[in-house]
Amino acid sequence: MKRTIVLSGCAALLVLMALPQVHAQTAGPSAGGGSTATATVGHEVLGPVLMPMPQSGMSIRDAWRYGGWIMWVLAAGSVTGLSLTLYLFWTLRASQIAPASLLSELMLYVRSGDLAAARRTCELRSSPLSRIALAAFDHLRHTSISEAALLRADVEAEGVRQAEAIHGETQLLLDLSVIAPMLGLLGTVMGMLKAFGSVATDVASAKPVVLAAGVSQAIVTTIFGLLVAIPTMVAYAYFRRRAARQIAALEASATALVTAMTSRFER
């Protein structure tokens, strides 16, 4: 059954490919003034054949010129998105969020009761985990009698701030992916206004060149807006999941550190 379906699809594809050639050999002169020639076999005239026309397209320079100042804004957005992507690749790592070596070192200091050395280590090695640990050490230093519930509350509050800071960095990609297509839509509206503005004011002065320039601006800005927005949205989806994993690891490290501190200082 599958073989029959595949063979039928191949046959249909061959027929569709052959139809334009048959049409080109049997069609008369085109309405657009394309050049034609008469095909002959021996002394027999088969009829006019449509000659291929040269292909034309829009270069990047022309597209940039049609897009106007919006293209520069979209270019700045693309550079910003690339910079944020490289930055998040560097920062959203375990060695930058919750280093295992830092956690092991802090655990040794806490178990030995050397909070001063632990504080110095956190100040020298800045990271979200070190800032959470500093919040716990400040709580122990400023309270004479510490309770485990209050210590955990301070640590959780600092952990929420660090998690929001991590999510805020990825949120910039989401903002950019939303703004870029809106800029493309703005270019579309401006292009349509340019295209049909001359028609609305004076029909006699409306030239095809003006209409073509306006329509080109509308299409070009929309395309470039989507070209900036789609990769940025993909990057945001990836880094959002990556940030969630790093925040979960940060919470586990902070919980282990607080457990060690409460068990050490409640004896």
pLDDT tens digits along 13-61 = 443 444 344 334 444 444 444 444 444 444 444 444 444 444 445 667 7
Q: Give the 3-state secondary structure percentages of the chain, helix then strand then coil, rounded to 5.
A: 80, 5, 15
Structure confidence at residue 219 (pLDDT): 82
Phi, psi (deg, nearest 5) at residue 38: -105, 125
181-206 mean pLDDT: 72
Residue 249 has pLDDT above 80, yes or no: yes
Cα angle: 128, vertex 248, 122; to 5 degrees: 20
Structure confidence at residue 58 (pLDDT): 63
Q: How confident is the model at residue 198 (pLDDT cuts 50, 70, 90)?
A: low
Among 255, 249, 261, 265, CA closest to 97: 249
Structure confidence at residue 178 (pLDDT): 92
| Pairwise CA distance, residues 157 & 178, whole Å | 31
Tokens at 58, concatenated: 């829009």
208-231 mean pLDDT: 79
Residue 174 has pLDDT above 70, yes or no: yes
Residue 93 has pLDDT above 60, yes or no: yes
**Average pLDDT of the chain?**
75
Structure confidence at residue 210 (pLDDT): 61
- Reported as a single tens digit per residue, the pLDDT across 113-167 is 888 888 899 989 889 999 999 988 888 877 755 677 788 888 899 999 999 999 9
Strand partners, 39: 47
Question: How many residues does this entry show for the chain?
Answer: 267
Among 108, 94, 59, CA closest to 220: 59
- % pLDDT > 90, the chain: 30
- Reported as a single tens digit per residue, the pLDDT across 226-236 is 999 999 999 99
Structure confidence at residue 10 (pLDDT): 44
